[in-house]
Amino acid sequence: MSQSKSASIMDSRILVPAVGAAFTKLNPRTLARNPVMFVVATVSVLTTILFVRDLVTGGDDLAFSFQINLWLWFTVLFANFAEAVAEGRGKAQADSLRKTRTEAQAKLLTGNDRTVYKMVPGTSLKVNDIVIVEAGDIIPSDGEVIEGVASVNEAAITGESAPVIRESGGDRSAVTGGTQVLSDWIRVRITAAAGSTFLDRMISLVEGAERQKTPNEIALNILLAGMTLIFVLATATIPSFAAYAGGSIPIIVLVALFVTLIPTTIGALLSAIGIAGMDRLVRFNVLAMSGRAVEAAGDVDTLLLDKTGTITLGNRQATEFRPVRGVTAEQLADAAQLASLADETPEGRSIVVLAKEKYAIRARDMQSLQASFIPFTAQTRMSGVDFDGSQIRKGAVDAVLSYVGSGALPVAGTTAAVSFNQSEAVRELQAITEEIAKAGGTPLAVARDGRLLGVIQLKDIVKGGIRERFAELRRMGIRTVMITGDNPMTAAAIAAEAGVDDFLAQATPENKLSLIREEQAKGKLVAMCGDGTNDAPALAQADVGVAMNTGTVAAREAGNMVDLDSDPTKLIEIVEIGKQLLMTRGALTTFSIANDIAKYFAIIPAMFLAFYPQLGVLNVMGLATPQSAILSAIIFNALIIIALIPLSLKGVKYRAIGAGALLSRNLLIYGLGGIIVPFIGIKAIDMAITAIGLA
């Protein structure tokens, strides 16, 4: 299900079944979902009955009314076809998903021992059942790892073949039914009953089976239904106007005028546009739990982005050793490297790398040094190493200072001079610290045996090109807010470097939530992404909450979208897709309504020509005969649906050029174009059908 696998519009595997589906969708109950096309189908039935009656009783112009009837039905079928094509693309994806959903057997644990289980079918599992999944097993349903760690192949869901680690506790505890454990074992608490798993939901989403009309779509449908009613009045009153003038209008002509005037183009393509919008998200490996969320994405005013991983490269890197006076950089690097040898965090590793690059300090074997590693804890906020009776500590500056100040290890022979030097060193260290923080770095203080050595400067590396993306977002009218646990000074520096509009420093789940509420109170729509359980309240509060697929079950439940690639920068694409969806609807509505002008010019002179030949002046297109004029208009009206299917599936491209410029551009293309194109199209069709003698 990677992006490249998306089906092309011209794929015959989609087009052929869509032709069949166009006919099965003639079912009145299916048609009733779409008011405009339902009306077209209804009048088509009526005119067909009239045609059959005329056929039996022998009416005039049978060939003409047969052709009009034919094109009326084509109009309905083309609309059904458009919807079927859009659905077909989703169906192809759903089928490939279904193949991966094999009937898994589950090892339901019956006792505490993980070897005591009974085999049950995966579909019989209930929420809160505990199962054991071992290497080679398919995870039977969605769940949360409560014990163990395993590598899991999630290619079925994400299309990504590299295995991922799933483990109990922390933010990587969610497992998805249908994925396969490759190594080790995990004990899983089931969180979804059969039929409502992530995979099930995904299948029904891409198939469009669960598609509900979105708020804007409902409003648009009301407008279209209203326009249809207005044109009912406009055409139904014509016969008596004509009667006053002493003429009469055949019903088939009135129906032709009516169907060409009502917004059939947008009416026919509306659901295809909606389905295609969801589909586009799916191809970006994002699952929207509702169409409402996709629409809301287009409206987002404020984007909350986590600093780490989104704005900056995942991890901070050591960039410099800054010793205090009396200590050489090599000494500091040496101590820092020793303290970091056993530190498996990316920061720790980057210290080792920097020491090697700058001062050629090689890695040493911890065991031969008989060193014991002191791991980082949230209480001490330091890590370090004890060896040879000597203690090295590195950590948050205030933590190290209090460690030094408390005299954790009174060193023999400490003199007053030394402690004087020490307080001198503290001042110097604080100066360096402040300097680093102002530049957006993170300082790590290093002390050896109670003596301050200096500071390691860690820096966030802002992702390349991110600044431009924020500038683009600003042009789209979206404010970006960086969320970080850093102190305000560091946060401000990174915010400035990355070009975000605002930042929230020292973020906690609570102040994240209150930031969202604050923005919403100002009437803004907020989008954010998150993965941890503590993000869940904020994800639920945000208007668009994108949960990372790697995240916890709680996060995935709280968000209204799931990003299968767990790439937080994707929020930007999600916003664009939401905008595209709305724009396509607006553009085609404008086009559809603007078309009416040309259709009036085609049909009105033709319709009244018999009793007011002077109205022939209005035949500005110079259409051959009244019949060819009416026929051309209805053919154009039907064919334009087919012609616009690709656009409705692909969507109108969003450009971040400011709303005013975007509007004038689209008004020019779809408004003015919508006025001009049918004049040309109807004329061309008229010439063609006259040439082949259809009218």
Partner 1 sequence: MTLNGWLQILVFCGILIALVKPLGGYMTRVFSGERTFLSPVLVPIERGLYALAGTNEREEQHWTAYAFALLMFNLLGVFVLYALMRLQAGLPYNPAGMAAVPPELSFNTAVSFVTNTNWQNYGGESTMSYLTQMAGLSVQNFVSAATGIAIAVAFIRAFSRASGKAIGNFWVDMTRATLYLLLPLCIVLTLVYVWLGVPQTLGPYVEATTLEGAKQTIALGPVASQLAIKMLGTNGGGFFNANSAHPFENPDAISNLIQMVSIFSIGAALTNVFGRMVGNQRQGWAILATMGVLFIAGVIVTYWAETAGNPLMHAFGLEGGNMEGKEVRFGITLSSLFAVITTAASCGAVNAMHGSFTALGGLIPLINMQLGEVIVGGVGAGFYGILLFIIVAVFVAGLMVGRTPEYLGKKIEAKEMKMAVLAILCLPLAMLVFVAIASVLSSAVASVGTAGPHGFSEILYAYTSAAANNGSAFGGLTGNTPWYNVTLGIGMLIGRFLVIVPALAIAGSLAAKKTVPASAGTFPTDGPLFVGLLAGTILIVGGLTFMPALALGPVVEHLVMIAGQTF
**Active site members:** 306
Minimum gap (Å) between residue 239 Cβ and partner 1? 8
Interaxial angle between packed helices 416-438 and 488-498, expressed in degrees from 0 to 180 and rounded to the nearest 10? 30
471 lines the binding site for partner 1 (CB under 8 A): no
Of 83 and 596, the one with the shorter C-beta distance to partner 1 is 596
Q: CA 485, CA 44: separation in Å to the nearest integer? A: 64
> Which of 479, 512, 570, 683 forms a contact with partner 1 (CB under 8 A)?
479
> Which of 287, 587, 644, 649 forms a contact with partner 1 (CB under 8 A)?
587
Query: Contact at 8 Å (CB) between 473 and 467?
Result: no
Of 74 and 670, the one with the shorter C-beta distance to partner 1 is 670
Of 172 and 585, the one with the shorter C-beta distance to partner 1 is 585
Over 403-438, what HEC string results? HHHCCCCCCCCCCHHHHHHHHHHHHHHHHHHHHHHH
Query: Contact at 8 Å (CB) between 53 and 62?
Result: no
227 lines the binding site for partner 1 (CB under 8 A): yes
Side-chain half-sphere exposure of 328, counting CA atoms within 13 A: 4
Minimum gap (Å) between residue 577 Cβ and partner 1? 10
Of 399 and 615, the one with the shorter C-beta distance to partner 1 is 615
For the sheet with 372-374, list strands across it: 317-323, 451-459, 441-448, 390-395, 382-387, 372-374
625 token code pair: 């005969």
Q: CA 449, CA 384: separation in Å to the nearest integer? A: 11
Burial state string for 284-298 with b = 16 or more CB within 10 A and e = fewer than 16: bbbbbbbbbbbbbbb
417 lines the binding site for partner 1 (CB under 8 A): no
> Which of 34, 65, 317, 589 forms a contact with partner 1 (CB under 8 A)?
589
- For residues 366-405, which are near partner 1 according to CB under 8 A? none
Q: CA 244, CA 226: separation in Å to the nearest integer? A: 28
Minimum gap (Å) between residue 557 Cβ and partner 1? 26
Q: Any idea of the CA torsion for 183, 188, 191, 192, to the nearest 10 degrees?
A: 50
Query: Contact at 8 Å (CB) between 657 and 475?
Result: yes
Residue span binding partner 1 (CB under 8 A) among the ranges 157-165, 334-342, 589-597, 634-642: 589-597
- For residues 503-542, which are near partner 1 according to CB under 8 A? 522-525
- For residues 636-675, which are near partner 1 according to CB under 8 A? 654, 658-660, 662-664, 666-667, 670-671
Instruction: Fill in the amino acid letter for 374.
Output: I
Of 245 and 620, the one with the shorter C-beta distance to partner 1 is 245
User: Under DSSP, is residue 107 helix (H, G, I), strand (E, B) or coil?
Assistant: strand
604 lines the binding site for partner 1 (CB under 8 A): yes
Of 62 and 663, the one with the shorter C-beta distance to partner 1 is 663
Minimum gap (Å) between residue 305 Cβ and partner 1? 17
- For 457, the enclosing helix (H) or strand (E) is strand 451-459
Residue span binding partner 1 (CB under 8 A) among the ranges 19-27, 96-104, 314-322, 613-621: 613-621
Of 64 and 654, the one with the shorter C-beta distance to partner 1 is 654
DSSP E strand boundaries for 164-240: 164-167, 174-175, 180-190
DSSP E strand boundaries for 499-566: 502-504, 526-530, 544-548, 561-563
Q: CA 652, CA 587: separation in Å to the nearest integer? A: 8
620 lines the binding site for partner 1 (CB under 8 A): no
Binding mask 156-195 for partner 1 (x = CB under 8 A): ----------------------------------------
> Which of 16, 19, 32, 229 forms a contact with partner 1 (CB under 8 A)?
229
127 lines the binding site for partner 1 (CB under 8 A): no
What pairing do the DSSP bridges indicate for beta strands 286-288 and 561-563?
antiparallel
406 lines the binding site for partner 1 (CB under 8 A): no
Size of the site for partner 1 (CB under 8 A): 75
Minimum gap (Å) between residue 397 Cβ and partner 1? 40
Residue span binding partner 1 (CB under 8 A) among the ranges 82-90, 214-222, 323-331, 506-514: 214-222
Q: CA 26, CA 28: separation in Å to the nearest integer? A: 6
Q: CA 619, CA 628: separation in Å to the nearest integer? A: 12
> Which of 20, 28, 195, 215 forms a contact with partner 1 (CB under 8 A)?
215
Q: CA 23, CA 42: separation in Å to the nearest integer? A: 15
- For residues 245-274, which are near partner 1 according to CB under 8 A? 245, 261
Of 410 and 660, the one with the shorter C-beta distance to partner 1 is 660
Minimum gap (Å) between residue 580 Cβ and partner 1? 7
466 token code pair: 């991110």
Q: Which residues pair with 1 in a beta bridge?
A: none
676 lines the binding site for partner 1 (CB under 8 A): no
594 lines the binding site for partner 1 (CB under 8 A): yes
Q: CA 118, CA 137: separation in Å to the nearest integer? A: 14
Residue span binding partner 1 (CB under 8 A) among the ranges 509-517, 585-593, 620-628, 680-688: 585-593
> Which of 35, 88, 298, 384 forms a contact with partner 1 (CB under 8 A)?
298
Query: Contact at 8 Å (CB) between 134 and 178?
Result: no
Residue 591's nearest CA partner among 510, 525, 652, 653 is 652
- For residues 314-373, which are near partner 1 according to CB under 8 A? none
> Which of 16, 126, 241, 420 forms a contact with partner 1 (CB under 8 A)?
241
618 lines the binding site for partner 1 (CB under 8 A): yes
Of 484 and 584, the one with the shorter C-beta distance to partner 1 is 584
299 lines the binding site for partner 1 (CB under 8 A): yes
- For residues 58-97, which are near partner 1 according to CB under 8 A? none
Minimum gap (Å) between residue 542 Cβ and partner 1? 16
